[in-house]
C-alpha cells in the first residue's frame, strides 16, 4: 500500500513539473504562425540588445545548436526574455552557426 502511494506521488509530481515546464517555455499546441518560429533579424537585434548587457558578444559558432537552445532557455528566466524573443534569438544563433 505504501509503495503504491509513493508511485502516485511521484507520478503526480512529474506531471506537475512537466506542466510547469511547458508554461515556462510558452508552448502552444495551436497552429503555428510565422512569429512562433522565430525571426532572424529580430533575433540578431534581441541578442545584441539583451545578451551584451552582461556578456561580451560571442561567436554563434562557439556552441552547437542544441547547446544554444539550452543556454537561451536558461537565460530567458535570468534576463526576463519573452518566449518570442527566445525563439528569435535561437533562430538567429542557429542560422549563424
Taking a C-beta distance cutoff of 8 angstroms, is the pair 22, 64 a contact? Answer: no
Exposure b/e, 58-78, CB count within 10 A at least 16 = b: eebeeeeeeebeebbbebbee
Domain encompassing residue 48? 37-96
Stated as kind and residue range, the H or E segment containing 41 is helix 40-46
Which residue in this structure is represented by grid cell 509513493?
A: 6
- Regarding pTM above 0.75, the answer is no
Mean pLDDT by 10 residues, the chain (97 residues): 51 48 45 68 93 87 93 92 95 93
| 47: in domain | yes
| 20: in domain | no
Total number of domains constituting the chain: 1
Amino acid at each position: 500500500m505504501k509503495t503504491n502511494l509513493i508511485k502516485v506521488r511521484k507520478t503526480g509530481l512529474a506531471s506537475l513539473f512537466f506542466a510547469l515546464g511547458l508554461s515556462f517555455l510558452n508552448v502552444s499546441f495551436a497552429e503555428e504562425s510565422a512569429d512562433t518560429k522565430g525571426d532572424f533579424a529580430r533575433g540578431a537585434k534581441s541578442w545584441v540588445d539583451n545578451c551584451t548587457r552582461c556578456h561580451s558578444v560571442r561567436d554563434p559558432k562557439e556552441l552547437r545548436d542544441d547547446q544554444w537552445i539550452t543556454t537561451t532557455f536558461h537565460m530567458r528566466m535570468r534576463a526576463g526574455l519573452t518566449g518570442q524573443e527566445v525563439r528569435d534569438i535561437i533562430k538567429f544563433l542557429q542560422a549563424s552557426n
